[in-house]
């Protein structure tokens, strides 16, 4: 009878240990909400903000018209984040790779399609063709290729406005 009692104690201890491990891991997995984590294990504060697709006005492929379409990348956190190596892609695979850009906390940068002089608030893809169509998506990845945020728009994707927000 003592062997049976010892077996039950071992099994009970094992079940309690597994339950404790599972309950400790569950909150870490459940609070991800599809957002990536930074190297410290915290949620990423970098996300896609507003999107101006299908440049307003005449689509004459002028630099002014090309720069009329843009995707906003925002830092919702307090600390600055280095965006070097982060990428922004559309549904067709067009990709913009951030060079060295330190995005301050609680600030945004607009990624324009055309040519221009990069600043802390505006960067340019230096393209001669439009990128963001009426039915498209923008996907933001970190320097390791992990998806941080994605946004879709077009018919069936909401109210169909020319400018999306988050």
Q: Which residue has the higher pLDDT, 90 or 27?
A: 90
* Predicted structure pTM score: 0.71
pLDDT, position 7: 63
Note the helical H segments in the chain: 2-30, 63-66
Question: Cβ distance 87 to 95 under 8 Å?
Answer: yes
Structure confidence by residue, pLDDT tens digits, 81-128: 999 999 999 999 999 999 999 999 999 999 999 999 999 999 999 999
pLDDT, position 17: 54
Among 44-48, 71-75, 155-159, the least confident range: 155-159
Whether residue 66 has pLDDT greater than 70: yes
Question: Cβ distance 50 to 73 under 8 Å?
Answer: no
């Amino acid at each position: 009878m003592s062997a049976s009692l010892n077996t039950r104690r071992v099994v009970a201890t094992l079940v309690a240990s597994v339950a404790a491990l599972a309950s400790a891991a569950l909150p870490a997995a459940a609070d991800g909400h599809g957002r990536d984590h930074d190297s410290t294990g915290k949620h990423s504060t970098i996300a896609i903000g507003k999107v101006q697709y299908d440049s307003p006005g005449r689509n004459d492929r002028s630099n002014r018209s090309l720069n009329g379409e843009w995707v906003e990348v925002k830092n919702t956190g307090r600390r600055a984040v280095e965006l070097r190596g982060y990428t922004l892609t559309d549904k067709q695979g067009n990709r913009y790779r951030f060079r060295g850009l330190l995005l301050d906390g609680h600030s945004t940068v607009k990624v324009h399609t055309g040519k221009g002089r990069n600043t802390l608030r505006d960067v340019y893809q230096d393209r001669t063709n439009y990128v963001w169509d009426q039915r498209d998506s923008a996907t933001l990845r970190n320097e390791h290729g992990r998806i941080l945020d994605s946004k879709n728009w077009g018919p069936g994707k909401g109210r169909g406005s020319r400018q999306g927000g988050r």
